[in-house]
A and B are shown apart, each in its own frame.
Chain A
Amino acid sequence: GQNIDQPTEMTATEGAIVQINCTYQTSGFNGLFWYQQHAGEAPTFLSYNVLDGLEEKGRFSSFLSRSKGYSYLLLKELQMKDSASYLCAVRDNYGQNFVFGPGTRLSVLP
């Protein structure tokens, strides 16, 4: 079966650092993706991991441990505009199907 877990909600302060965790159990693995989604809008791509380790892209970093079925998204120097839902997704072994977690709603407070 396919199961992806994320915390439902998180709150952080402007300028701080926040880590959003994702654990997955899927029938296959061909990469893990993080997306950002503002309310009422479509998700937009943030990061991609297929090998273990950390991928850094500006204020955003994403980490993957395939043996643990675990990833996290790290957001630094939080800004008010970072208030959004963050979706973790796994691409299956055949590369055709993307399975999404429930999403984590992040609120950045002044």
Chain B
Amino acid sequence: SQTIHQWPATLVQPVGSPLSLECTVEGTSNPNLYWYRQAAGRGLQLLFYSVGIGQISSEVPQNLSASRPQDRQFILSSKKLLLSDSGFYLCAWSGTGGSEKLFFGSGTQLSVL
């Protein structure tokens, strides 16, 4: 069966510090991978998605970046965090078929102080 791992679960970082969140998927090959952000009490905002190694699509211009160094590994990074980067970050994967649903990791609660 497929599983998705995301870490860390919580993170408190000072403004201006770097960020690296990692996500890995097991039990499937060539998944579509996604990073979403959710502000408190709000909906999910798509940040990045990837359909293959090294292929990254950015939905929202900002100081975040994403990389996919391996088929089942997706990394979200920032060189300098802003206060507005605080939120709940969710990694997700889906298959490539039309009816494939989205499966989410457990999320990372990021607080930038």
Contact = CB atoms under 8 A, between A and B. Distances in A.
Contacts, number: 60
Interface residues of B, number: 30
Interface string B21-37: 00000000000101010
Of B43, B98, B99, which is in contact with the most chain A CB atoms at under 10 Å from its CB? Answer: B43
A98 B103 CA distance: 11
Interface of A: 30-31, 33, 35, 40-45, 48, 50, 87, 89, 91, 95-103, 105
Interface of B: 32, 34, 36, 41-46, 49, 51, 57, 59, 88, 90, 92, 94, 96-107, 109
Contacts of B42: 102-103
Given A30-B98, A42-B104, A91-B98, A98 B46 contact: yes
B96 A95 contact: yes
